[in-house]
Amino acid sequence: MEEERIGLFIDYENLAIGSREDLGIEFDFKPVTDALAERGRVVVRRAYADWTYFEKDRRMLTDNQVELIEIPQRRGMVRKNAADIKMAVDAIELAFERDYVTMFVICTGDSDFTPLVHKLRELNRRVIGVGLKASTSALLPPACDEFLFYENLAGVDVPARKPKKERPKAEKPAAAAAAVNESPESVIVPTLAGLIRAGDGDVRASSLKRALLRKDPTFTETDYGFRAFGELMRHLESKGIVELDNENSQGDPIVRFPSKGRGEETGFGLLQKAVSDLGKGGAPVALSGLKNELRKRDAGFSEKKLGYSGFLQFVKAAAAGGYVDLIWSDEVDDYVLSAP
């Protein structure tokens, strides 16, 4: 596989001020370079700011071979977007003049760069964003192929401190939209099921990770407490949710569902009990409204967590397993279920 060549563009004011005000630490460039070293070779490094405000940061950036692009603030004039415009123009120019640059890394949380990200992707470039959770617009991460939150990078040590009163924002921070409120299997199982349905061949762990990032560019296994995606996969295998085939895998195992099921027996049992209770005396139970009944009995029920694309598919699987009987009724114009 050919090595990615990366063009790095940094909205330095956005990161430096955000790091200081939101995290209480000075911005350190090394965690960013370490994260990018794992993804390819950085051939262009540029940072944009009025450097008279960041004298202490000049040495740190030049030591990391970053080209400093000066955007001076003229007296009596407001040039708020000058750095943004220059950075966007330079990125597009590089995309046209250096076709060997295959990946662009845009370090900012500003939603003004969303059109730039869209244009770079139109030009068949992969785009990674880097920003801080508290100051990243909710519009920017979904536009990227992958989005890294600075405070999640290895080497960033955020001190514990009392939460600050939030600055007023016109937009909801991305961190609120990206909050992890669900288990990893609730995200991975539907994605794996979709890949299996859509493809003819085996699903590799790397393909699964890419699909997860296409669905949610902020996805990272570290949010669930795992150091690597392979570690997360082994955890799910130990729970009987997936199976990993490491034969001839070269570090990229085939991921499939267990041949003995993936925990759907509990869901099938819940469905069978609901149908038996609602259809006392042998009366059939209409499919409509049945999902809400299951959720009343188990608030966490979701057929998608079990790998099914819809409730009807889940019910048909239960019928195939002998948990319920399922037929179409012209009388009620709906599927009806009954206990076997």
Q: What is the mean pLDDT of residues 200-209?
A: 86
Q: b vs e for 300-317, b when ≥16 Cβ sit within 10 Å of the residue's Cβ?
A: ebbbbbbbbeebeebbeb
In the predicted structure, residue 142 carries a pLDDT above the cut 90: yes
- Using a pLDDT cut of 70, give the percent of the chain over it: 89
| Distance between CA atoms of residues 218 and 151, nearest Å | 13
Q: Give the mean pLDDT of the chain.
A: 85
Which segments of the chain belong to CATH 1.10.10?
184-256
pLDDT of residue 231: 92
Q: What is the mean pLDDT of residues 305-330?
A: 84
- pLDDT higher at 90 or 241: 90
Tokens of 102: 């295959």
In the predicted structure, residue 177 carries a pLDDT above the cut 60: no
In the predicted structure, residue 170 carries a pLDDT above the cut 50: no
Digit-coded pLDDT (tens) for 285-305 = 898 889 898 989 988 888 877
| Distance between CA atoms of residues 330 and 80, nearest Å | 66
Pick among 2.40.160, 1.25.40, 2.70.98, 1.10.10: CATH of 184-256: 1.10.10
pLDDT of residue 112: 93
- 198 CA to centre of own chain: 20
Which segments of the chain belong to CATH 3.40.50.1010?
5-177
pLDDT of residue 98: 94
For residue 281, count other CB atoms closer than 10 A to its CB: 4
- DSSP category for residue 207: H
- pLDDT higher at 30 or 280: 30
* CATH topology for the 264-338 domain: Nucleotidyltransferase; domain 5 (3.30.420)
| Distance between CA atoms of residues 37 and 7, nearest Å | 12
Which segments of the chain belong to CATH 3.30.420?
264-338
- pLDDT higher at 99 or 185: 99
Digit-coded pLDDT (tens) for 221-236 = 888 888 889 999 999 8
Sequence-ordered alpha helix ranges (H) in the chain: 12-18, 30-37, 55-63, 82-97, 114-122, 140-143, 174-177, 184-198, 205-215, 229-238, 264-278, 290-297, 311-320
Contact 15, 47 (CB under 8 A): no
Q: What is the mean pLDDT of residues 194-207?
A: 82
Tokens of 16: 């430096």
Tokens of 138: 């909710």
In the predicted structure, residue 145 carries a pLDDT above the cut 80: yes
**263 confidence band (pLDDT: 50, 70, 90):** low
CATH 3.90.1150.10 fits 5-177, yes or no: no
Digit-coded pLDDT (tens) for 27-81 = 999 999 988 988 899 999 999 998 888 888 998 999 889 999 988 765 544 555 7
